[in-house]
Homo-oligomer: A and B are copies of this chain.
Amino acid sequence: MTPQSPLQELLNALALYSHLPSDDQQAVLDLPFRVRNLDPGAYLVREGDQPSQCSVLVNGYAYRQKVTGIGSRQILSVCVPGDAVDLQNMFLSISDHSVQMLTRGTVADVPRQAMQDMVLTRPAVGTAIIQLTLVEASILREWVVNVGRRDARARIAHLLCEFAVRLESRNLHSHEGFELPMTQEQLADATGLTSVHVNRVLKGLEGEGLISRRRRHIQFPDWRALQDAGDFSRRYLHLSDVDIVGERPAVTPNLV
């Protein structure tokens, strides 16, 4: 509603894991940046690049990706608004993967040096950024498990659960379900399957009453059953173990 800095989203993301003192918050908002509007498929970073800025996703979705020697693609994670897309590149010079827009959207480019200075001189911000990075690593570990040790049905169900909870934790979707910003082929590349098989699995889940679909809009008529099918537990998202000890069901009231 109210006009706000594009970097407000970044602040929200950081606030998920730590409380930032208000001068640190201000420092984040005062970061220099330049805004860009991007189309689906546009690259934010390319594998091998040595980027001089750190892009923050302001709105829209993006994904991390790597391509094998024989040309198949693996999607490594989906970035949501507020994600700092290449923290990696702040401390490692050469990017080891690519980041592309999934939907149309906007990013704010922050000079690498400014971001780095802030992380190193403001312990609270540094802690928050490290926490974000560690949560991303935790999600990555869960993806290894998903792709390595679950069958197709569980992989898809797990991905849908993860996405729903992550969106919910950032207040990006309503109880009604959400708009999945990916094609079935992208879903396949995220789960290590083929698009043909993804299609069949989705139909299967729909037939079982675990999801319902109208185009890419997904709803969860039986959230509990979907979690079971996907062997999903939100623990690895670390949504409530930094500030608050124990469960905090209020975060996703309608999904518990």
Q: Which residues of A are in contact with B by a Cβ distance under 8 Å?
A: 48, 64, 66, 68-70, 72-74, 76, 87-88, 91-94, 96-97, 120-121, 123, 126-127, 130-131, 133-138, 140-145, 147-150, 191-192, 231, 235-236, 238, 241-242, 245
A243: nearest residue on chain B (CB-CB)? B93
Across-interface contacts of A133 in B (CB, < 8 A)? 130, 133-134, 137
A237: nearest residue on chain B (CB-CB)? B96
Greatest chain B CB density within 10 A among A70, A123, A134, A191 is at: A134
Give chain A's interface secondary structure class: helix
| A91, B76: Cα distance in complex, Å | 23
Query: Do B76 and A149 touch across chains, with their CB atoms under 8 A apart?
Result: no
Query: Do A140 and B140 touch across chains, with their CB atoms under 8 A apart?
Result: yes
A72: nearest residue on chain B (CB-CB)? B149
**Chain B: minimal CB distance from A133 (Å):** 6
Which listed residue (B136, B149, B235) contacts A192, Cβ 8 A? B149
Task: A74-B144, A136-B137 given; name 16 further pairs at CB < 8 Å.
Answer: A66-B141, A68-B231, A74-B145, A88-B134, A91-B127, A92-B134, A92-B238, A92-B242, A93-B241, A97-B138, A130-B130, A140-B140, A140-B141, A140-B144, A143-B144, A147-B147
**Chain B: minimal CB distance from A196 (Å):** 16
A69: nearest residue on chain B (CB-CB)? B231
Q: List 21 A-B contacts (CB under 8 A).
A: A68-B149, A68-B231, A72-B149, A74-B144, A74-B149, A88-B134, A91-B127, A91-B134, A92-B131, A92-B135, A92-B138, A92-B242, A93-B242, A96-B138, A96-B142, A96-B236, A96-B238, A137-B137, A137-B140, A144-B147, A148-B192
Across-interface contacts of A127 in B (CB, < 8 A)? 91, 120
Across-interface contacts of A72 in B (CB, < 8 A)? 149
**Chain B: minimal CB distance from A153 (Å):** 12
The 8 closest A-B pairs by CB, nearest first: A148-B192, A69-B231, A94-B241, A147-B148, A74-B145, A120-B123, A96-B236, A72-B149
| A196, B144: Cα distance in complex, Å | 21
Across-interface contacts of A123 in B (CB, < 8 A)? 120-121
| A63, B7: Cα distance in complex, Å | 38
Greatest chain B CB density within 10 A among A135, A137, A143 is at: A137
Across-interface contacts of A130 in B (CB, < 8 A)? 91, 130, 133
Given A92-B134, A134-B91, are A76 and B120 neighbors across the interface (CB < 8 Å)? no
